[in-house]
Amino acid sequence: MKRLQAYQFELMPNGEQSRAMRQYAGCCRVVYNKALVWQNEQYQADNTFKFGYTKIANLLPLWKSELAWLKDAPSQA
């Protein structure tokens, strides 16, 4: 019989860590919203447009150059 096991950890960040976590979440939200707007614009222009990860990932360096504060967040976020 297979046994499933999980671990649960409680995060207790200090003030600086909490601010950093909120900043990273905000950066992720901005990138998601920009990607969503870009996808909607592309789809409205051409209904047969195929969405792919690589097309959107190639836009990320451009967005980082436009928004300097976006470089502060880790690229894995």
pLDDT beneath 50: ranges in the chain: none
Domain extents in the chain: 24-72
Confidence at residue 6, expressed as pLDDT on a 0 to 100 scale: 95
The per-residue pLDDT for 46 is 85
Q: Residue 63 has what pLDDT?
A: 94
pTM strictly above 0.75: yes
Q: What does the pLDDT look like over 33-55, one tens digit per residue?
A: 999 999 999 889 988 777 788 98
Q: What residue has token string 């967005």?
A: 63
How many Cβ atoms sit within 10 Å of the Cβ of residue 72? 12
Query: Tell me, what's the pLDDT at 75?
Result: 84
